[in-house]
Structures are given as C-alpha cells and as structure tokens.
Amino acid sequence: MNYGLNISASGALTAMHRQDVLANNLANLNTIAFKPETPMVRHRPAVREEDGVWHLPSNRLLERLGAGPLMAPSVTRHEQGSIETTSNPLDVAINGDGYLVVRSETSGSTDRLRLTRDGRLTLDGRGRLVMATTGMPVLDVQNRPIEVPPGGEVVIGSDGVIRRDGAEVATINLVTIADRSRLRKTGNNLFTAPSETINGAERSSGSIVQFSRERSAVDEIRALLDVQDAGRAASANLAMIGYQDKMTERAITQLGRIA
C-alpha cells in the first residue's frame, strides 16, 4: 500500500468536511440567532497503532508520521450576534448569556424541552406566546406555556416579565447552561440537551430586549476566508493523490525496463 496516498486521501476527506461545515456557516449569514460551528480535526495514529496490530513489523519512521488528519465532531460557537431593532413588540433578543425554553409538541417525544435564542415570537390562535418559525410555545419559569390575554399593549421587561395593559401575565424562562458541550443542534435554531440539564438549569444573568432580534453570529469575512482556505487544502491533497498515482505508474512501467 502507498502510505503517502493514504495520508493524502485522509487529508482531502478532512479538508472537504471542513469546507462543508464552513460553507454552512456562510450560508447562514442572515439566519436569525444562528450559531456557527468550528470543524474539529484530530491526529490519526499510524495504522499499526490504530488497529492494535502490534505483532506486525514496525516501521518507526512511518509511525512517527502518523496516518494523516481525521475528522472529529464539530463544536458550536455560542457567540452573541449583533442586535437589530424591529417594529414587532413580540420580537425579543437576549443580551448576554441565556436561552429561551420552548416545548416541542411532536407526538411521542419524551424529552420535549428545547432551547433557542431565536426571539421572533408571535401569538397563536389560543393566545399562547410561540416561536414564529416553529409554533413551539415559549415557557415561563415553571416551564408552562405562556398565555397572553387579549387586550392592548404588550410590554416585555428586561427581566422577562410580560405585562399587558399594565397587568403582569408571566415571566419568560431565560436559563443558562453551564456545560454548553451538552447542547446539540436539532435544526430551526433549536438546541436539545438531556432533560436533567434543561430542568436543572439556573436563571440566566442575561437580559431581554424587546422590539429586537439577534442576528447571526457568523463573521462574513472570516467565514469566506475559512471556506477558501479549506478549499485550497482539499485541492492540494487531491493534487498529491494525482502525483503519487503517477509515481506508482512510473514505478510499474519504467523501473523494470531500466533494470
């Protein structure tokens, strides 16, 4: 087996994976409250070490080279995006740390609580405060759906207290997650985590800003440069595969003739 070919192939696959993740970040440049991901790469040990076949002959030079890079799970960067003003009184942004708690109403779901920073809210036909994008109800500090009675002006304070016509209706549950590595994206700007993580979450020190929404946390210039860098890395590794293939071809067709 051509060891260099193996390393180049591993490098090409890893670079293309990086390009996919980074391109997805760039594609969500205008997605409200989107959190970008960092593609992680780890060192792949030599095949003899990775497969645990210690009885095979050792080539210390190749083993020191390793077997190239290997893809690892991506890590979400929970950075805050900039806050923009809207004209909708039910639009809210979280300034600082924290997540809104919403509930999935999918039939048969056991862990139904979800977290989000997407504060585009509206009232459904039953008067419940829900996400405008998914229809999931936003929960209060007791993890119950918030029902807003009909009436006049809705005011949402920085502490999450909702008032209508001056009367207090409920308090939005704004929580902090100590170990964010336990959060997993589920699409639609939602995160899931083990139920004990969400149920045991403490009140966040962040504040809620009414008439606002959080923009994507993607840095346009950085994302574009990262995609280009990953593309160049993939091209370089693919070129190396071609070079090594030609070297193998020449070794087969010419070395024997010269001898």
Q: In sequence order, what are the residues at sequence separation of 6 or more whose Cβ sits closer than 8 angstroms to the Cβ of residue 37?
A: 21, 24, 25, 74, 75, 76, 77
Cross-strand partners of 207: 95
- pLDDT at 88 exceeding the cut of 90: yes
Q: What is the pLDDT of residues 119-137, one digit of tens each?
A: 999 999 999 999 999 999 9
The first and second tokens of residue 3, run together, are 């060891």
Do residues 198 and 104 touch, judged by C-beta distance below 8 A?
no
Percent of the residues in the chain that have a pLDDT greater than 70, as a whole number? 86
Q: What is the pLDDT of residues 184-223, one digit of tens each?
A: 999 999 999 988 888 889 999 999 999 999 999 999 999 9
Question: The tokens 């006049």 sit on which residue?
Answer: 152
Q: What's the confidence (pLDDT) of residue 258?
A: 56
3-class secondary-structure state, position 72: strand
DSSP string, 179-211: -GGG-EEEETTEEE--HHHHHTPEEPS-EEEET
CA angle at 229 for the pair 224 and 234, rounded to the nearest 5°: 125
Q: What is the pLDDT of residues 135-194, one digit of tens each?
A: 999 999 999 999 999 888 999 999 999 999 989 999 999 999 999 999 999 999 999 998
Do residues 116 and 31 touch, judged by C-beta distance below 8 A?
no
| CA–CA gap between residue 182 and residue 114 (Å, rounded) | 13
Classify 33 in phi/psi space as left (phi over 0), alpha (psi -120 to 50) or beta. left
Average of per-residue pLDDT across 89-118: 88
CA angle at 28 for the pair 24 and 32, rounded to the nearest 5°: 150
How much is the pTM?
A: 0.80
CB atoms within 10 A of CB 56: 9
Cross-strand partners of 173: none
| CA–CA gap between residue 89 and residue 255 (Å, rounded) | 78
Do residues 128 and 135 touch, judged by C-beta distance below 8 A?
no
Alpha helices in 55-194 (DSSP H): 60-65
Largest CA distance in the chain: 96
